[in-house]
Structure 1
């Protein structure tokens, strides 16, 4: 077979080769008729591996501009396989014969990950994707489906099974380019004279030998650095870098998450030294060169426990509209390119908000003090001043360096009380009520222009301040105060992006590309199963209509989550390619430079176009370097999001487990979101917790699955169907697998 494979490849590589079908290839290679079945098998294998392609009239040729070796970041999935998220420069370079996943990622099965660890930068060989064209060709030729019971010459031949082929590109790791985080979490164990670590991750071998003794005691949780793991079948060797404590010690679970994701809690000495050298008093000459907004009624609105206040706003009513000023902390004044502060901020990429702590991008003196727009003190800002007409259309925008003196630090709850008139708030309250008039107009205009309403309530885990144990789960409503700040930040981000693009400045933009049609078709089918008319979701108006139809229904969150999964992931890039979800032609991140490095780059780019710019604007890296930075901060954003979600879900699972131990466990109202052969998936909306109700935990009855109707029928009019509300109790919690089982309460 290998010899025949080589002959076929050599023929197709020849200078004068023209695409041939199977018969022509057989004649050209002089293959006897009794061996042509082998040739067909080789052709199928070559196509499935991506070496050749079949074009018009079933003629074969080598793939053109083939690029099957790509580079990206490997992330393991809880089910054992891995995704390789391709570097931006690789996206679009893959052979067109390979249909990429919606998030430009390659799927790697567990047996093909080699010795890669989570977050490694790897080279992956793409071998196959989707049903190869030969499968599609044969099925088109055969047509129809196999009819059971019909036999004989006239019976249609069965179609070739496509079950083994998937829509995503699949491949194997061929090289580890960078071991980004060699640290893993495990349990130190001693069995007789053998001392080893059992990794927490199932993606690593069950035993890791230690290169040196450790002070850990058997059973303690440890962080381990992988030193040597060259072969999947060989026992890895590691070194304990830190003893985290006993599994039940307070805080050990979150510390494990920090080490697992390679998050840095401490700043290097050089960074701390630079931060400490920042003067507490603003220089008079710096204040003098800036626009003075200190007398304006400027306020910040943030979560009640926030300490890093990036943004402050003020709205002025005009005869024919409004003027909105969005002031953003001028981090670029303190963090200069190439400084220790800058290099560390770039390395971190962003702040990480875990369930019990914040790991900041910048040291506390900057993030919580000199850069934070605290009330009743002078602070330096970069300001976007925008004018809007009565319809919310932006008429004019200008940008400046400014100095402000915030008049109040408001929580969302306090702002909401004033906006609703339940608290007067004096001049500040009146200003906020005027500001909401503008925000409401901007919001309506945004949705009228195609923006998608994907906002969902946030859930926060309440922890005991001393023990850090979870004591509750609280839902945070996305009310008008949140919506107002969102609209103002979106307006500023868009205005800055438009300016940078118009001025042709090197910058980093926020990009959300249009979704793949196939993914939208899949989601449309899911929506129909849930009882919604989806229409043609490649038409954005139909997407909006679907979201509008789902609004207020028990399945609203399920529909929104389903749509989010069908969309591409937003990322950073050096080209302004638009934002599908927000319906913006140009968009960037400008409003959070304390916690996002992308915004700091944008501030530096904007410096060169300010109306009162200094003689030497802060430099922005060349495009090639910016592309690497954009890729890096897209990766750190993903890493932080994973750590944040893991820490939050970990505490949620702990809280739910405690509920099962109560003598009288609480009953929750759940919504049936899916029907499967095992039972029902139910979600408790107030906690955003989804779990399985197995058939054995149904109420008594003769339950029958009616898959076509997505329901279980129990006779005598009883049914359990999608969208139905059911009372449930938590019956089982698996913290390690982060799985929950419910039982229906009668």
Structure 2
């Protein structure tokens, strides 16, 4: 008999199930993998096969096929699928995570496999495994139970390990039957069983792959490639190339195409050979793909920027084109370059060497006296560089009022006068100029580091930058109604701006209202700390608050340069984006390539970031090798990072960065104040805060990993004698 009224005491009412999301696709037809993933990502709560069948209108006969689909999804995201879906802005109680490394105490750090929130995904600190279980290694994926422990931080406990579909490769140094990984975050132990060493000798850099083995103790691995001795010339860049998966050998078809290249004929090109175009590059530049010229034009200026005509030598769909797109860009190390194009092109036919005819694509621009562009046109030409200058040489000629051989009298002065007009326009629109000097690594003939010094920042550098920016803007404007890969740079996110605001407030500085932030507002902040001790730290913090630039066919402008339209046009030897833009300007962009512009932009954005990481890591490794001879020495430093596991410091002398482990600080209970960026001792009341000046001693410098460890010497209170 039905019961009316409230349920009897002690009766638990069944919870009403959450409504299912709308399924996409034709009712009664088995959903695609993508449609099923979308459905599961939108579902609230637990979803069973019956719920899925009902939502998609499936029959009982279709159940086996549905189970196969779910199994395929679980192969990539093994776990209770509904629980593994990560909602926007926060993590569920249980999710699949990937181990990315370890903190200095050796505890694994992970990230969620999927993240839809704003900004970077949260950091997950994984709890230690049960005794006897092997430690989690970078790249491993596990189903983890998560608990929030602070803003953007979670604690994770392993529920189930997820077998890798394909074993990751190990890059390391072979020593006494073991492999010492070159990645400082990789703490797993690897052994090489007899017969699996490929004849490797102690001290060799090797590539290996894991072998099936026991779950306890060191893991077995097979060496699959020998890469040369650690410490030998070029070993540092070799490690970085392999660590980041940078292609460094060209297929035979691409080399054959490059070898068939010949000189560019004049034909229908505009003859620019009488125009004294010159190149200005770094002393260690390996290719010269841009040349400049300027002359007075009424009360303003006419500026010519000529760029190597790479499109002439690299037709769409060719083996050269496929390889260039795969690489995305050239990668520059202190001892070598991994070029986007074979040397027959990058160092010869597409390099604007002096006194030789070269095909070019040029931007002919006119500006008024205040640097405002009045007009531009693009064309194909044949040029002959009048001189190759370094930045230092160009600056010296300007300062002394001289000109190099082969250049008309007064030409260098004319270039600088045109530059000052462009600089006036730049200052008027209010751009962001972060002054973070690059470090130059100087090597001797044997490949040993002789010096690491900041690269000078001269007006000649800024001159070339302004000429190139002007040409890039003109290219973007010329392609306004055509396919284009824009160089975009979004404004900082609100979350990053709020973090920056808190940091600046600790310095007594104020950030303008978030909704009205402009590049010139950041510049005013930088002007306030000019020549002050905190100058470098403020520059670095503002840089970290910025969004990353990218390539995209959808234009949102360039925030940092305060430009509504911007594209890369000036370096097609070393950037595929510029080659894409050249083809678009020449109406030589295939429809298929235009249709793939979004995909190409995402790919080359990724290769650019990969290159930047590899180049930065190479400098760090060279610096560690250089500092290894100074272990035990004392240095002046500033605290550049504060974490729960210790302090990061940057040396005043050469910008070297390393860690001061928490365990090396005075014996105390250290409390991490994230808002104030400080570590404070509960008993000693000693505080170490961001930007504080300290004296440190170098205790370890590891060229294999690039890591450095310091101990703090200044500010440590004297201990009371024990009774």
TM bracket (short chain): 0.7 to 0.9
Q: Displacement of 1:654 after TM fit?
A: 1.2
Q: What's the counterpart of residue 140 of structure 1?
A: none
- Residue in structure 2 matching 1:587, options 541, 561, 566: 566
- Residue in structure 2 matching 1:166, options 152, 158, 169: 152
Q: Displacement of 1:452 after TM fit?
A: 0.7
Please tell me whether the aligned partners of residues 210 and 240 of structure 1 are also in contact (alpha carbons under 8 angstroms): no
- Residue in structure 2 matching 1:320, options 299, 307, 310: 299
Q: Displacement of 1:554 after TM fit?
A: 2.2
Whole-Å separation in 1 of the counterparts to 2:564 and 2:153:
30
Whole-Å separation in 1 of the counterparts to 2:631 and 2:492:
41
Q: Tell me if 1:547 matches 2:518.
A: no
Q: What's the counterpart of residue 412 of structure 2?
A: 432
Change (3 A) 1:686 1:475: farther
Q: Tell me if 1:621 matches 2:592.
A: yes
Q: Displacement of 1:266 after TM fit?
A: 2.3
- Residue in structure 2 matching 1:99, options 117, 142, 163: 117
Whole-Å separation in 1 of the counterparts to 2:198 and 2:535:
52
SS in 1 for 2:380: strand
Q: What's the counterpart of residue 172 of structure 2?
A: 186
After TM superposition, the structure 1 = structure 2 runs for residues 99-118 of structure 1, keeping only pairs within 5 Å, are 99-101=117-119
- Residue in structure 1 matching 2:423, options 438, 443, 453: 443
TM-score, L = length of structure 1: 0.72
Please tell me whether the aligned partners of residues 184 and 259 of structure 1 are also in contact (alpha carbons under 8 angstroms): no
Change (3 A) 1:533 1:100: closer
Q: Deviations over 1:307-334 (max 9, x none)?
A: 2101000111111211111111110000
Change (3 A) 1:659 1:228: closer
Q: Deviations over 1:654-692 (max 9, x none)?
A: 11121236xxx5x65544556789987543345222346
After TM superposition, the structure 1 = structure 2 runs for residues 102-181 of structure 1, keeping only pairs within 5 Å, are 163-164=149-150, 166=152
- Residue in structure 2 matching 1:394, options 373, 380, 405: 373
Q: Displacement of 1:443 after TM fit?
A: 2.6
Q: What's the counterpart of residue 31 of structure 1?
A: none
- Residue in structure 1 matching 2:317, options 333, 338, 345: 338
Whole-Å separation in 1 of the counterparts to 2:499 and 2:213:
41
Q: Tell me if 1:256 matches 2:221.
A: no
Q: What's the counterpart of residue 739 of structure 1?
A: 708
Q: Tell me if 1:660 matches 2:646.
A: no
Change (3 A) 1:211 1:620: farther
Q: What's the counterpart of residue 280 of structure 2?
A: 301
Please tell me whether the aligned partners of residues 102 and 187 of structure 2 are also in contact (alpha carbons under 8 angstroms): no
Q: Displacement of 1:178 after TM fit?
A: 9.5
Whole-Å separation in 2 of the counterparts to 1:363 and 1:125:
45
- Residue in structure 2 matching 1:569, options 548, 560, 576: 548
Q: Displacement of 1:205 after TM fit?
A: 4.5
Please tell me whether the aligned partners of residues 187 and 220 of structure 1 are also in contact (alpha carbons under 8 angstroms): yes
Q: Displacement of 1:599 after TM fit?
A: 0.9
Please tell me whether the aligned partners of residues 506 and 622 of structure 1 are also in contact (alpha carbons under 8 angstroms): no
Q: What's the counterpart of residue 720 of structure 2?
A: none
Please tell me whether the aligned partners of residues 507 and 620 of structure 1 are also in contact (alpha carbons under 8 angstroms): no
Whole-Å separation in 1 of the counterparts to 2:453 and 2:362:
35
Please tell me whether the aligned partners of residues 224 and 238 of structure 1 are also in contact (alpha carbons under 8 angstroms): no
After TM superposition, the structure 1 = structure 2 runs for residues 450-599 of structure 1, keeping only pairs within 5 Å, are 450-466=430-446, 468-501=447-480, 504-538=481-515, 539-540=517-518, 541-599=520-578
Q: Displacement of 1:76 after TM fit?
A: 3.7
After TM superposition, the structure 1 = structure 2 runs for residues 699-738 of structure 1, keeping only pairs within 5 Å, are 730-735=698-703, 736=705, 738=707
Whole-Å separation in 1 of the counterparts to 2:192 and 2:298:
75
SS in 2 for 1:534: coil
Single out whichever of 420-429 and 359-368 deviates more from structure 2: 420-429
Whole-Å separation in 1 of the counterparts to 2:543 and 2:617:
19
Please tell me whether the aligned partners of residues 197 and 223 of structure 2 are also in contact (alpha carbons under 8 angstroms): yes
Whole-Å separation in 2 of the counterparts to 1:5 and 1:234:
51
Change (3 A) 1:9 1:489: farther
Whole-Å separation in 2 of the counterparts to 1:725 and 1:590:
43
Whole-Å separation in 1 of the counterparts to 2:273 and 2:599:
39
Q: Displacement of 1:259 after TM fit?
A: 1.9
Change (3 A) 1:221 1:491: same
Please tell me whether the aligned partners of residues 350 and 596 of structure 1 are also in contact (alpha carbons under 8 angstroms): yes
Whole-Å separation in 1 of the counterparts to 2:696 and 2:416:
40
Please tell me whether the aligned partners of residues 401 and 413 of structure 2 are also in contact (alpha carbons under 8 angstroms): no
Please tell me whether the aligned partners of residues 331 and 337 of structure 2 are also in contact (alpha carbons under 8 angstroms): yes
Q: What's the counterpart of residue 260 of structure 2?
A: 277
Change (3 A) 1:384 1:726: same
Please tell me whether the aligned partners of residues 207 and 226 of structure 2 are also in contact (alpha carbons under 8 angstroms): no
Q: Deviations over 1:330-389 (max 9, x none)?
A: 100001111111111111111111121111111111001100011001111111111111
Please tell me whether the aligned partners of residues 209 and 223 of structure 2 are also in contact (alpha carbons under 8 angstroms): no
Whole-Å separation in 1 of the counterparts to 2:307 and 2:409:
22
Please tell me whether the aligned partners of residues 115 and 229 of structure 1 are also in contact (alpha carbons under 8 angstroms): no
Please tell me whether the aligned partners of residues 537 and 543 of structure 1 are also in contact (alpha carbons under 8 angstroms): no
Q: What's the counterpart of residue 91 of structure 1?
A: none
Change (3 A) 1:554 1:241: same
Q: Displacement of 1:549 after TM fit?
A: 1.0
Q: Tell me if 1:640 matches 2:620.
A: no
Q: Displacement of 1:241 after TM fit?
A: 2.7
Whole-Å separation in 1 of the counterparts to 2:341 and 2:267:
27
SS in 1 for 2:367: strand
Change (3 A) 1:333 1:106: farther
Single out whichever of 161-170 and 416-425 deviates more from structure 2: 161-170
SS in 2 for 1:265: coil
Change (3 A) 1:517 1:429: farther
Change (3 A) 1:726 1:278: same
Whole-Å separation in 2 of the counterparts to 1:185 and 1:170:
27
Q: What's the counterpart of residue 131 of structure 2?
A: none
Please tell me whether the aligned partners of residues 620 and 706 of structure 2 are also in contact (alpha carbons under 8 angstroms): no
Please tell me whether the aligned partners of residues 223 and 256 of structure 1 are also in contact (alpha carbons under 8 angstroms): no
Please tell me whether the aligned partners of residues 106 and 126 of structure 1 are also in contact (alpha carbons under 8 angstroms): no
Please tell me whether the aligned partners of residues 204 and 228 of structure 2 are also in contact (alpha carbons under 8 angstroms): yes
Please tell me whether the aligned partners of residues 46 and 52 of structure 1 are also in contact (alpha carbons under 8 angstroms): no
Q: How many residues align?
A: 623
* RMSD after superposition: 4.8
- 5+ residue gaps, structure 1, are 16-44, 55-62, 87-93, 129-160, 609-616
SS in 2 for 1:163: strand
SS in 2 for 1:560: helix
Q: Displacement of 1:642 after TM fit?
A: 1.5
Single out whichever of 378-387 and 677-686 deviates more from structure 2: 677-686
Q: What's the counterpart of residue 199 of structure 2?
A: 216
Q: Displacement of 1:393 after TM fit?
A: 1.0
SS in 2 for 1:420: helix
Please tell me whether the aligned partners of residues 224 and 240 of structure 1 are also in contact (alpha carbons under 8 angstroms): yes
